Structure 1
Amino acid sequence: MKFNSILLLSSLSAVALARPHDNACWSEKFNIPCCQTTKEVVRTTYDGIWGMENGEWCGLGTESTRPKDDIPPSPPALLDLDSVVDPAADCDISNVITGDSLAQEAPFRFGVGFNGAAVSTSTTSSKVMRELVKYQFNSFSYSNLMKPLFVLDQAGCQKNFKNGSNEIALNFTPFVDGLDYAQKNGLHIRGHVLVWHKQFPDWFFREEFDDAKEYVSEEVIYERLENYIKQYLGFVNYNYPGVVDVWDVVNEAVEVLEGKFDNSTGWYTRTITYEGDRNIWYDFVGPDYVVKTFRIARKYALPNVKLVYNDYDTFAQQPHDKTQAIIDLMHILQKEDLVDALGMQSYIQPIDPPFEENVANYDKALQRFAAEGFEIQITEFTIYATNGEDWLETQVYQYRKMMETIMKNYKNGANITSVTVFGLQDGYRFYESDSTKTRLFDHELQKKPTYEAIMEVLKAYNAEVNDESNIESDEEISVDADVDVAEDSADDDSDEE
């Protein structure tokens, strides 16, 4: 009887993991096919049970594991672009949306960071900027509008609480236009960021979501955190599957400056910010917040969404080795299969410390991360401008040098899967007072020499790869020819005999 019960359970398991006979596929709504042959469970998330076939994720079973009554909200109304005065309307970008394209030339994803602290000043609110972006790039991230400060809805949370609900209220209006734009144009979005010690509202940690109330317990904070991430990822997964396929889960949790870290964790956990403010997450729930946030994100993310730890100065060696601290943290996350990639914020100082020293340390960090087998994503790539009349000439040299360093490591086997430059244009047209001059496009949205420098490096890499491929092809032809000659010679000898 016991043996028969085991057989029955095995049969039920096989049925549960097999594809239904009517060819219905529950996971296709997430742009993930159902498994055809495998029954091996690789990962289980809130939305389903997942396997892999030919290196790609596939859905197992006959239906999603998400409760049927748990349906994420529909997207809010989109911005009427025709009602917006486009500050870039007078820019002639005809020569920018033809010819060279960073996305087409790069062997990895090439993205751009969108400026704007409101819908009205977002890059997606400009028709002209939209046209440029979809030609030159294949991904983008928001510098602000997907951060908790802009997404968490205090009034909505308070209303829910008064109605007896602890559900976190979210506002997707700030970035829904970007989701729609990306989906319609085949672009991807880097979600930035779920948890950070900055731009995370203090009221989230207080009773009744009230700024004047006492702080809640650690248990309540984690309940709120899970509810927030569940709703956030659920909305994006359900309404725009495959669009946000990368998330910076935790940002800048490592610090090596004296007096600003707790190294009892083994990875120099940040306790105080660079500016001297407290790390609210460390203060309220301790250093485990990083691992616990990744656990929650893994639970609610689709299996083909990459979860990233993102940090700045990843190449810093003083006063302590930040590269090693990040490696140690990544290993902790990897033990539970919680992280997929490392985000290397790449803000580079041109003078202090000296640029050449920065490049050398950056190069070493890339090599060390590559040696660990990490997937590396270059994020927020920016070289600050120098003063003086030769600032542009200096900037061109420095961008070229940095890009050469990235491509050298890529060619040597570093698993670099994306590069994202931070900001679209100098003197961002939505800001009247913006004096930024670190971007690849100028105030008129024309290609700067910095753009050309990066493009030349990419083209040089591709030319080298093509030359090597041609040499290998010629060698194969030569070997085949030698074999043919040898066979012909053998035939001749046979005829003589």
Structure 2
Amino acid sequence: MKYLSVLSVICGVIATKAYAECWSEKLGYPCCSYSKNVLFEDNDGQWSVENDNWCGIPKGTSSNCWAEKLGYPCCSSSKDVLFEDSDGQWSVENDNWCGIPKSSTPSTTITKTTTTITSKAPTSTYNPNVPPKPALTNLDSIRDPAANCDISDSIKGDSLAKAAPFRMGVGLNGSDKSSSTVLSKKMCQLIAYQFNSVTYSNLMKAEHMLDKTASQNNAKNGNDMPVLKFDTIIDGLEFCQKNNVKMRGHTLVWHTQTPSWFFRTNFQDNGSFVNASKMEKRMESYIKQMLEFIQYYYPGVVDVWDVVNEAVEITNGSYDSSTGWNTRTKFDGGDNLWYKTMGADYVFKAFRFARKYADKNVKLIYNDYNTFMSQKTNAISNLIKKLKAENLVDGVGLQSYLNADWPNRNDYKSAIQKFSSLGVEIQITELTIKTDGSGNKFNNQATHYQQVFQIYKDLKKSGVNITSVTVFGLQDGYLFYSNDSTDTRLWDHNLKKKPVYNAIMKVLKS
């Protein structure tokens, strides 16, 4: 039954524990009311699944079932053998595979079956390769750091999403799941009113999505493909689905925040680097698992992906100029391990796999920073032309980390126009404008945001296909952090609108 990705079924339990009663209540899970099939065991106790959620099995009530070790329940009633392998005999109950206890006597043996297994997921065909959803966090069990903030003026009247001629997005901050923006009821309420798009700033990147232990166990069992876990993004996906908010997928392939062990033999820290063929298969597996999970449980929620992030470089000694688009080879003195293992073609292969597995309406984006610097503008344009020749790319993402006086706004505007001339969408993906340090810094900052949004609006009116603008964070002095000095955002530390908000709204409504 290894083809059923058993390890994928259990990968999320350690990091995601929701709220409940009994011994597992403190860890955030309900007790199992009827299931005794152990799908996972750790120092806390034994775990199973009921109603698509993890639950804790009351101590002393678990059963002995050979299938439990593989992540499946024992069959409670069915004795019809639908499949048999070296592990044992398998049947189906409640739309899920189950192992027939070895003491049972099968009544019917079927060597080949055409049975279609349906799923509780919002698609019509059961996909055994998609793991169950991790448990959602019960926000009632979380101390909301914004609980005392008065957001009344932000959830009535003006709305950025309603006023903008393009999708308006906001970054979901958080260095780990416990500090994720979507764990604040107040922040979620504000976002649902003001925005129609979100982007995880960190928690959808490979270092959070890859399950190291499960991947290593896969390798030990002869399957040298990665295992993903989805506990860090499940709450955000659920929020988006319930509130009709879109999510930008960020990001599939990036040389940063992708652990070195992912590129090494047996996923070991000290393993040798795998060859290009093996790494290509791992890349495909990673992209396939990511897209299948999200499209299976949350169809239509993520309708755009930053497929490759920051693959172009202009620093001398850190790029391969032979490709014609300055392929990044190094960053901060270290190797770009995608390039090291797969060569410059890793970018094209990532887009090919993304196009292969993405739903037909999903847009694929190349995303980068300092896109307005002429050498980088030209290199990215050359890359986009090559990708577009294979119908692999739909747009360019301009991160847009700006200072008060840099870059020159005309240079910034010209870069957008040049990318637009290639016939692709323009998405402003991580807009951030720093303050100037003066005593009047927030009013000055508001002027700069106003100027930049005027550029977007004028370009949109002229025919440039700007489809979204995302400000990369909700508030200054992010409340989930104990000491955050950020001052680049639209709301202050108490979730009160800054002058920036009103300046942007003035442009959008004019």
Q: Same-fold call, TM > 0.5?
A: yes
Match of 1:347 among 396, 401, 408: 401
CA contact (8 A) 1:86 1:127 kept: yes
Contact 2:224/2:266 (<8 A) preserved: no
- The answer to whether the 8 A contact 1:113-1:143 is kept is yes
The counterpart of 2:284, out of the listed 226, 240, 246, is 226
Judging changes above 3 Å, is the alpha-carbon distance between structure 1 residues 292 and 103 closer, same or farther for their aligned structure 2 residues? Answer: same
Distance 1:153 1:82 in 2: 28
**Amino acid paired to 2:403:** Q
> Equivalents in 2 of 1:71, 1:257: separation in Å?
42
Q: Residue 168 in 1 paired to residue 222 in 2?
A: no
Residue in structure 2 matched with residue 479 of structure 1 by the alignment: none
**Cα shift at 1:215:** 1.4
C-alpha deviation, 1:69, in angstroms: 5.6
User: Could you tell me how far 1:70 is from its partner in structure 2?
Assistant: 4.2
Q: How many residues align?
A: 389
Q: Which residue of 2 aligns with 1:328?
A: 382
Q: Can you give the 5+ residue segments of structure 1 that lack an aligned partner in the other structure?
A: 1-65, 461-497
Deviation at 1:283, TM superposition (A): 1.5
Name 1:474's counterpart in structure 2.
Answer: none
Task: Please list, as runs of the form range in 1=range in 2, the aligned pairs for 1:60-209 lying within 5 A after superposition.
Answer: 70-209=128-267
Q: In the alignment, residue 294 of structure 2 is paired with which amino acid?
A: V
- Equivalents in 2 of 1:217, 1:424: separation in Å? 42
Q: How far, CA to CA, are the matches of 1:69 and 1:346 in structure 2?
A: 39
Find the aligned partners of 2:383 and 2:445 in 1 and give their Cα distance. 33
2:458 is equivalent to residue 401 of structure 1: no
Aligned residue for 2:334? 277
- Where do 4+ consecutive residues of structure 1 move more than 3 Å? 66-71
The Cα shift of 1:327 comes to 1.0
Aligned counterparts of 1:372 and 1:148: Cα–Cα separation in 2:
30
Aligned to 1:302: 359
Residue 372 (1) aligns with residue 422 (2) = yes
Equivalent position to 2:509, from 459, 464, 467? 459
Query: What root-mean-square deviation, in Å, do the aligned CA atoms of Structure 1 and Structure 2 show?
Result: 1.7
The one-character-per-residue Cα deviations of 1:419-450 (angstroms, maximum 9, x if unpaired) are: 00010000000001101000000011011100
| Offset from partner CA, 1:286-318 (integer Å, 9 cap, x none) | 11100011001111111111111000111102x
TM-score calculated relative to the size of structure 1: 0.76
- Picking from 438, 461, 468, the partner of 1:418 is 468
Q: SS at 1:169's partner residue?
A: coil
Alignment correspondent of 2:480: 430
Q: Deviations over 1:17-46 (max 9, x none)?
A: xxxxxxxxxxxxxxxxxxxxxxxxxxxxxx
Partner secondary structure for residue 154 of structure 2: coil
Q: Is the 8 A contact 1:197 1:279 kept in 2?
A: yes
* Runs (5+) with no aligned partner, structure 2: 1-123
- SS of the aligned residue for 2:334 comes to coil
How far has the Cα of 1:358 moved from its partner?
2.4
Q: C-alpha distance in 1, partners of 2:248/2:490?
A: 19
Task: Map Cα deviations across residues 190-219 of structure 1 (whole Å, 9 max, x no partner).
Answer: 010000010001001111111022111111
1:277 CA displacement: 2.4
Asked whether the 8 Å contact 1:370–1:413 carries over to 2, the reply is: no
Q: Is contact 2:263-2:337 (8 Å) kept? A: no
**Residue 499 of structure 2, aligned match among 449, 454, 471:** 449
Pairing 1:292–2:335 present: no
* Residue type of the alignment partner of 1:334: K
Provide Cα deviations, 1:131-154, integer angstroms capped at 9, x if missing partner.
Answer: 000000001000000000100010
Rg larger for: 1
Specify whether residues 69 and 311 from structure 1 end up closer, same or farther in structure 2 by C-alpha distance, changes over 3 A only. closer
C-alpha distance in 2, partners of 1:69/1:213?
A: 33
**Between structures 1 and 2, the one with greater helix share:** 1
CA distance in 1, matches of 2:338, 2:222: 26
Q: TM-score, normalised by structure 2?
A: 0.74
Helix, strand or coil at the partner of 2:415: helix
